[in-house]
């Protein structure tokens, strides 16, 4: 037997109402119910950060959050950053610094980086490293990612 619940929330600036199973994760809701597939499933355990979204201005692993807990909240996904000038600077910096290789971690990394820029506009490399600790990348070794975020944040210092 499956229990369903109606929830309402703001997603990328747009009011949404959906019906979800009470045991569904926010990640599954975003991908399977709403149809936004930019947020990736990585580990399902909150260890990799591929599913990072912003909830009420805080970065969260959407695989660890129940969809019903999104009720009344403000969610931002990688798709929602499309209109954000800081995210434009991040995307350009990621390309310029070679911080994108396979691309699987990129959506979560960019969402987390946008959160870092919003909360620490003058972040140095150490703050950035600390800020992306929960986001794993198996390709770049992180230096290029840190350099890209620092470039977007502070114009390359």
Query: Which bin fits 155, alpha (ψ -120 to 50), beta or left (φ > 0)?
Result: left
Band of pLDDT at residue 98, cut at 50, 70 and 90: very high
If one counts every other C-beta atom within 10 angstroms of the C-beta of residue 153, the result is 24
* Res 156: pLDDT: 53
Average pLDDT of span 33-38: 98
Average pLDDT of span 56-73: 98
Report the residue count for the chain. 157
One-letter-per-residue 3-state SS of the chain: CCCEEEEEEEECCEEEEEEEECCCEHHHHHHHHHCCCCCCCCCCCCCCCCCEEEECCEEEECCCCEHHHHCCCEEECCHHHHHCHHHHHHHHHHHHCCCCCCCCCHHHHHHHHHHHHHHCCCCCHHHHHHHCCCCCCCCCCCHHHHHHHHHHHHCCC
Q: Is the pTM of this model over 0.85?
A: yes
Q: Give the span between the Cα atoms of 57 and 37, in whole angstroms.
A: 20
Average pLDDT of span 8-12: 98
* Res 155: pLDDT: 61
Q: Give the span between the Cα atoms of 106 and 102, in whole angstroms.
A: 8
* Res 10: pLDDT: 98
With contact defined as beta carbons under 8 Å apart, do 144 and 98 qualify?
A: yes
Radius of gyration of the chain (CA): 16
Q: Give the span between the Cα atoms of 145 and 50, in whole angstroms.
A: 14
Q: What is the pLDDT of residues 105-153, one digit of tens each?
A: 999 999 999 999 999 999 999 999 999 999 999 887 799 999 999 999 8
């Amino acid at each position: 037997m499956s229990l369903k619940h109606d929830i309402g929330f703001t997603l990328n600036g747009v009011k949404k109402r959906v019906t979800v199973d009470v045991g569904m994760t926010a990640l599954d809701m975003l991908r399977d119910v709403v149809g936004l597939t930019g947020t990736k499933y990585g580990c399902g355990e909150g260890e990799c950060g591929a599913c990072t979204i912003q909830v009420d201005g805080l970065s969260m692993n959407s695989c660890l959050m129940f969809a019903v807990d999104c009720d009344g909240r403000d969610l931002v996904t990688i798709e929602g950053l499309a209109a954000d000038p800081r995210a434009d600077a991040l995307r350009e910096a990621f390309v310029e610094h070679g911080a994108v290789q396979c691309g699987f971690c990129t959506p979560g990394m960019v969402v987390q980086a946008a959160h870092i820029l919003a909360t620490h506009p003058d972040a140095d490399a150490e703050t950035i490293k600390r800020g992306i600790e929960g986001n794993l990348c198996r390709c770049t070794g992180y230096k290029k990612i840190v350099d890209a975020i620092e470039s977007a944040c502070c114009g390359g210092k």
